[in-house]
C-alpha cells in the first residue's frame, strides 16, 4: 500500500538531530582511527609480529565500533511508524499472536492517515500495551482487535476471553499500563474505557480524535 510520509513529531526531530550528530561526529572519528591504524602499519619500519597484531586489533575494534555506531544512527532515524499505523500494527500484532500462541481476530478499516503522527503513535502504544496485558495476565484463547478510522477519529476495541479482573482495585497503584493507555487517549483528545470482571474477559474501547483541536 502506497503511504504518504508522516509529519515528524518533535520527539522524532530530536532523534534525527542526535543521529546527525552521531553520524557527523563519532562515525567520522572512528573512521579516522581506522585510517590512522592502517597508515601506521605502512610507515613503521619492519614492524614486529606483536606490533602488527596490535594494529590489526585496533583496526578491528574501530571497525566494530563503526558498525555499532551505524546501527544506532539507523535506529534513531527510523520512525516506529514508517509505513503508517495500520501496516506497522498488522506486522506487530501477527508477530505477537504467533509468539503467544493466541488467535488474534483483527480487522482495520478506513484510512489511518486521518490521524496526525502523534495520534497514530498513541494508538500504536495503546494497542501494544493492551495486547501485552492480554499476554501477561489474561490466559486468553482469543483476542478480537478492531480499529476503525473515520474522518473524525479512530475507534478501537480490544476484547479477550481470558480470566478478567475486578476493575477498581487495579487502576493506578504500581500498575501504569492501563493508566498510561487512558492518559494516551486523553492526550489525543479522546477517551479509553475498560470493562472487565473475574472470569468474564476484558474489553477495552477507545476513541482518538483526528486532527488538531479547534
Ligand atoms: N487483559 C487483561 N486480563 C486480565 N487481567 C488484566 C488484563 N489487563 C490488565 N489486567 C489486570 O490489571 C492489572 C493492571 O494492568 P496494568 O497494565 O496497569 O499493569 P501491569 O500490566 O500489572 O504492569 P505494567 O505497569 O507493567 O503494565 C494487571 O496487573 C492485571 O491484574
Ligand atoms: Mg500492563
pLDDT in tens, 161-207: 999 998 765 665 667 899 999 999 999 889 999 999 999 999 999 99
Pocket lining: 192 vs ligand 1, CB cutoff 6 Å? no
Question: According to the CATH classification, is domain 85-209 in 3.30.565.10?
Answer: yes
Report the residue among 177, 200, 201 best suited for mutation to probe ligand 1: largest number of ligand atoms under 8 A from its CB: 177
| Rounded Cα gap, residues 7 and 119, in angstroms | 11
Q: Closest Cα to atom 6, ligand 1: which residue?
A: 137
Per-residue pLDDT averaged across 100-117, rounded? 93
| Rounded Cα gap, residues 126 and 206, in angstroms | 9
Pocket lining: 102 vs ligand 1, CB cutoff 6 Å? no
Tell me what pLDDT residue 214 has: 47
Cα of 45 vs centre of ligand 2, distance in Å, is 64
Cell of 88: 506497522
Which residue shows C-alpha cell 476503525? 148
Cα of 89 vs centre of ligand 1, distance in Å, is 21
Write a three-state SS string for 146-167: EEEECCCEEEEEEEECCCCCCC
- Closest-lying ligand to the alpha carbon of 175? 1
What is the reported pTM?
0.73
Tell me what pLDDT residue 168 has: 63
Pocket lining: 171 vs ligand 1, CB cutoff 6 Å? no
Cell of 30: 572512528
Instruction: Render pLDDT for 55-82 as a digit per residue (tens, 0 to 9).
Output: 889 988 888 888 888 888 877 777 778 7
Q: Of 42, 66, 74, whose CA–CA distance to 55 is shortest?
A: 42
Dmax over CA atoms of the chain, in Å, equals: 80
Based on its alpha-carbon atoms, the radius of gyration of the chain, rounded to whole angstroms, reads 24
Question: What value, to the nearest 5°, has the Cα angle with vertex 165 and ends 131 and 192?
Answer: 55
Q: Of 66, 68, 70, 79, whose CA–CA distance to 15 is shortest?
A: 79
Strands 103-109 and 153-160: unpaired
Pocket lining: 163 vs ligand 1, CB cutoff 6 Å? yes
Tell me what pLDDT residue 82 has: 78
Cα of 30 vs centre of ligand 2, distance in Å, is 41
Domain boundaries in the chain?
Answer: 10-77, 85-209
Q: How is the chain split among helix, strand and coil, in percent rounded to 5? A: 55, 15, 30
Amino acid at each position: 500500500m502506497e503511504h504518504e510520509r508522516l509529519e515528524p513529531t518533535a520527539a522524532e526531530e530530536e532523534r534525527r538531530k542526535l543521529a546527525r550528530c552521531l553520524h557527523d561526529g563519532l562515525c567520522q572519528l572512528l573512521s579516522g582511527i581506522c585510517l590512522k591504524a592502517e597508515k601506521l602499519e605502512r610507515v613503521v619500519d619492519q614492524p614486529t609480529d606483536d606490533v602488527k597484531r596490535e594494529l590489526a586489533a585496533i583496526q578491528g575494534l574501530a571497525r566494530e565500533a563503526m558498525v555499532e555506531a551505524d546501527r544506532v544512527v539507523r535506529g534513531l532515524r527510523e520512525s516506529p511508524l514508517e509505513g503508517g499505523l495500520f501496516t506497522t500494527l498488522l506486522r506487530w500484532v501477527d508477530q505477537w499472536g504467533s509468539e503467544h500462541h493466541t488467535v488474534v481476530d483483527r480487522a482495520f478499516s478506513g484510512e489511518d492517515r486521518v490521524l496526525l503522527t502523534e495520534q497514530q503513535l498513541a494508538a500504536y502504544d495503546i494497542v501494544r500495551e493492551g495486547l501485552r496485558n492480554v499476554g501477561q495476565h489474561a490466559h486468553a484463547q482469543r483476542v478480537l482487535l478492531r480499529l476503525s478510522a473515520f474522518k473524525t477519529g479512530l475507534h478501537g476495541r480490544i476484547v479477550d476471553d481470558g480470566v478478567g479482573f475486578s476493575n477498581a482495585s487495579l487502576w493506578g497503584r504500581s500498575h501504569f499500563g492501563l493508566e498510561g493507555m487512558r492518559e494516551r487517549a486523553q492526550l489525543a483528545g479522546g477517551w479509553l474505557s475498560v470493562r472487565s470482571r473475574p472470569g468474564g474477559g476484558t474489553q477495552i474501547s477507545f476513541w482518538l480524535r483526528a486532527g488538531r483541536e479547534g
